[in-house]
Chain A
Amino acid sequence: MLEQKDLVRYNRQLIIPDFGEEGQKKLKDSHVVIVGMGGLGCASATYLTAAGVGHITIVDFDTVELSDLNRQILYWEDEIGERKVVVAQRKLSKLNSSIQITPVFTKLTEDNIFSVINGAQVILDGTDNVTTRLIVNSACVKLKIPYVYAGVSRLRGMITTIIPGQTPCLACFRPEGPSGLGVLGVTPAIIANLQALEAIKLLIGHSPALAGKLLLFNGDNLKFQVREIRRNEGCPVCSPVVLKQDYF
Chain B
Amino acid sequence: MKAAVMPGFSELIIRINPTKQVTRGGLLTIIMPWLYAPWPDAQKTGIAEMEVEGKTLRELLAKLAELYKQANVELDIINPKTNDLDADYDVLVNGKNYVALPNGLGTKLKNGDEVRLKILWRWDG
A-to-B contact residues, CB < 8 Å: 36, 38-41, 125-130, 133, 150-154, 156-158, 168, 172-183, 188, 214, 216, 218, 220, 223, 225, 227-234
In angstroms, Cα B88 to Cα A112, docked, is: 33
In angstroms, Cα B111 to Cα A155, docked, is: 38
In angstroms, Cα B35 to Cα A229, docked, is: 10
Q: CB < 8 Å: which of A38, A125, A174, A228 contacts B10? A: A174
B125: chain A residues within 8 A (beta carbon): 36, 38-41, 125-128, 150-152, 183, 188
B74: chain A residues within 8 A (beta carbon): 223, 225
Contact status B32-A176, CB under 8 Å: no
Tell me the B68-125 residues at the A interface (CB within 8 Å): 73-74, 81, 87-88, 90, 118, 120-125
Contact status B31-A227, CB under 8 Å: no
Contact status B122-A133, CB under 8 Å: no
Q: In the assembled complex, how far is the CB of residue B33 from the closest CB belonging to chain A, in whole angstroms? A: 6
Q: CB < 8 Å: which of B9, B29, B81, B120 contacts A178? A: B120
A126: chain B residues within 8 A (beta carbon): 125
A216: chain B residues within 8 A (beta carbon): 88
Contact status A229-B31, CB under 8 Å: yes
Contact status B28-A234, CB under 8 Å: yes
Contact A151-B123, Cβ < 8 Å, known A173-B9, A175-B10, A176-B10:
yes
In angstroms, Cα B87 to Cα A183, docked, is: 13
Contact status A173-B10, CB under 8 Å: yes
In angstroms, Cα B88 to Cα A155, docked, is: 11
Contact status A232-B122, CB under 8 Å: no
Q: CB < 8 Å: which of B33, B81, B121, B122 contacts A173? A: B121
Among B9, B33, B124: residue with most chain A CB under 10 A: B124
Contact status B33-A172, CB under 8 Å: no
Among B9, B10, B28, B88: residue with most chain A CB under 10 A: B9
- B79: nearest residue on chain A (CB-CB)? A220
Q: CB < 8 Å: which of B28, B30, B34, B121 contacts A151? A: B121
Contact status A178-B123, CB under 8 Å: yes
Contact status A130-B33, CB under 8 Å: no
Q: In the assembled complex, how far is the CB of residue B85 from the closest CB belonging to chain A, in whole angstroms? A: 13
Contact status B120-A176, CB under 8 Å: yes
In angstroms, Cα B122 to Cα A40, docked, is: 12
- B118: nearest residue on chain A (CB-CB)? A176
In angstroms, Cα B81 to Cα A218, docked, is: 14
Contact status A179-B31, CB under 8 Å: no
As a 0/1 sequence over residues 12 to 45 of chain B, the CB contacts with chain A under 8 angstroms (1 = contact) are 0000000000000000111111100000000000
Give 17 A-B contacts (CB < 8 Å), ordered by A residue: A39-B124, A40-B125, A130-B121, A133-B123, A153-B124, A172-B31, A174-B10, A175-B121, A176-B10, A176-B90, A188-B124, A216-B88, A225-B74, A229-B32, A230-B31, A232-B9, A233-B29
Contact status B124-A227, CB under 8 Å: no
